Amino acid sequence: MFKKETEYALRGMVYIQLQNLKDRRPGVAEIAHEIEAPYFFTAKIFQRLAKQGFVKSMKGKGGGFFIEPEKKDLPLKELIIAIEGEELFVGCGFGLKNCDEENPCPLHHQYGMIRDQINKLVAGETIQSLAQNTLNKTLAFSRDTEK
């Protein structure tokens, strides 16, 4: 469904938020390890997210990543679109350019319902809501769970 980059970004953002709630700022090494993503790839992804303002970072000793309070309630959708574009949210299941109500592809209505659900999900959930899910439900999304 999502690209690897998007998956790593989502997992990493939730991990950062969870740590921030404990007043910690995890660094790339910690994030990559916990979300089971390659170190350098993780570094690159979060550099980009930092440049785009989704996270803040601090260099040097005690440095690491953190999410500003006003950003933690950003819908996942915006993060996803920033990474992989919006095809998933607007495209036709059949891949047709000009598929619409006037001119529907054979999957138009059925696929439309699924696409609407995807939209609803990622527009409704936020990094914060996922972090809360994790806290509430005796969690599970990373090595944390192995305890």
Residue 128 CA, chain-centre distance (Å), reads: 11
Question: Do 143 and 34 form a contact (C-beta atoms < 8 A)?
Answer: yes
| Minimum distance of DNA from residue 108's CB (angstroms) | 21
Helix or strand (DSSP H, E) at 26? none
Select from DNA, a second copy, none the partner in contact with residue 46, using the beta carbon and a kind-dependent cut-off of 5 to 8 Å: DNA
Q: Which is nearer to DNA, 59 or 147 (CB)?
A: 59
Binders of DNA among residues 29 to 68 (CB under 7 A) are 29, 37-41, 43-44, 46-47, 50-51, 57-65
Contact residues toward a second copy (CB under 8 A) are 1-2, 4, 7-8, 10-11, 14, 36, 88, 91, 93-97, 99, 102-107, 110-111, 113-114, 117-118, 121, 125, 130-131, 133-134, 137, 140-141, 145
Give the CA radius of gyration of the chain. 17
Q: Exposed/middle/buried for 89, CB within 10 Å: 0-12, 13-18, 19+?
A: middle
Q: CA 4, 12, 2 angle in degrees (round to 5)?
A: 25
Residues that bind DNA (CB under 7 A): 3-5, 8, 26-29, 37-41, 43-44, 46-47, 50-51, 57-65, 84
